[in-house]
Amino acid sequence: MTASKDNITSQVLIEALPYIRQFHGTTVVIKYGGNAMTEAALKDSFAADVVLMKLVGINVVVVHGGGPQIGKLLSRLNIESEFVNGMRVTDSATMDVVQMVLGGLVNPDIVSLINTHGGRAVGVTGKDGNLIQAEKMPMTIASNNAGASEPEIIDIGHVGSITNIQIDVLNTLVQSEFIPVIAPVGVGKDGESYNINADVVAGAIAQALNAEKLVLLTNTPGILDADKTTLSSLNKAEVEALIADGTISEGMLPKVDCAIDAVSGGVNSVTIVDGRVPHALLLEVFTDSGVGTQILNRQSDHA
């Protein structure tokens, strides 16, 4: 190794040291999705990052999605996918497929991936130990009837909203030497299964654990300003202003809403991270500049 490479390596390690100290013993919740979940090289870098974070004393919790995988299997089974306001309409047949894909295919694959890279991951769904308790999500849309002033309430099936996170189950997992990998399926009072948005689940779990940080891996570089430049850090008021003027819109809105809920609920910071960047997690957690857009209750430097 040349002297210049030695210098670069030492600088990287020196820069990482204060963040290793800062996050040691804290909890970081990661929502895993997008390209980072489908491209082989990015899957490997994600798993290596998670294992390293655990080894330096961070309590890592992974919550995963699986929308594209669900859509592919539904198509193969000739079950039509239907969405209302971005939410998948989930009848009983679709719910069976959701559980099969999330709990039987995606979750074990992520567990195996992390374990192959030297970690000790354990997979659960929100139904295990009544971890994620839920109820049917009410959905309203603008009425198609001319002159109607009230929105129309529609039934989108087994789509759930969270009523409670079973904190005892979470604490048992988090305080162990294992890395919990959680599929976003909830359970109702009568044992019904509910399909729940993975970002929402990750945010609720981060709040329940009073996590230091929530990281949302996406296929975007973060929140962009009007000039398409990534904004590195925002507080709640600044985010709300960007929503009001239309700078934040469409697909980014649900993630931003999740982030605001999380920091309002006690999570120190939420970062929307570009999962297409190799080792995005390490760059976000252990470097001064970070990756993506960080959202806090107050304005702050990278943390």
The per-residue DSSP string of 238-285 comes to HHHHHHHTTSS-TTHHHHHHHHHHHHHTT-SEEEEEETTSTTHHHHHH
Domain holding 236, by residue range, is 23-296
What are the CB-based long-range contacts (under 8 Å, 24+) for 190-195? 192/158, 193/95, 193/98, 193/99, 193/127, 193/158, 194/95, 194/134, 194/135, 194/136, 194/137, 194/158, 194/159, 194/160, 195/88, 195/90, 195/94, 195/95, 195/98, 195/158, 195/159, 195/160
Burial class (CB in 10 A: 0-12, 13-18, 19+), 76: exposed
| Phi and psi at residue 188, to the nearest 5° | -90, 180
pLDDT at 143: 55
Position 74 scores a pLDDT of 92
Report pLDDT for 150.
61
Number of domains in the chain: 1
Listed in sequence order, the residues at least 6 apart from 204 whose beta carbon sits closer than 8 Å to its beta carbon are 132, 162, 165
Confidence at residue 108, expressed as pLDDT on a 0 to 100 scale: 97
* Within-domain flag for 252: yes
- Please indicate, yes or no, if residue 8 is contained in any of the structural domains: no
Residue 181, H or E segment: strand 179-183
pLDDT for the residue 151: 67
pTM of this structure = 0.90
Q: Is residue 5 part of a domain?
A: no
Cβ-based neighbour number of residue 41 at 10 Å: 9
CA distance 46 to 36: 7
- pLDDT tens track, the chain, 303 positions: 455 555 556 777 888 899 999 999 999 999 998 888 989 999 999 999 999 999 999 999 999 999 889 999 999 999 988 877 777 888 899 999 999 999 999 999 999 999 999 999 999 999 999 999 999 987 766 655 555 456 666 678 899 999 999 999 888 888 888 999 999 999 999 999 999 999 999 999 999 999 999 999 988 888 888 888 888 889 888 988 888 888 887 778 888 889 999 999 999 999 999 999 999 999 999 988 778 899 987 654 444
| pLDDT score recorded for residue 301 | 44
DSSP-assigned beta bridge partners for residue 273: 217
Any idea what the CATH number is for the domain that residue 245 is in? Answer: 3.40.1160.10
Close Cβ partners of 226 (under 8 Å, ≥ 6 residues apart): 247
The per-residue pLDDT for 220 is 86
Residue 13 domain-assigned (yes or no): no
Q: Measured between alpha carbons, how far is 157 from 162 in angstroms, rounded to an integer?
A: 15
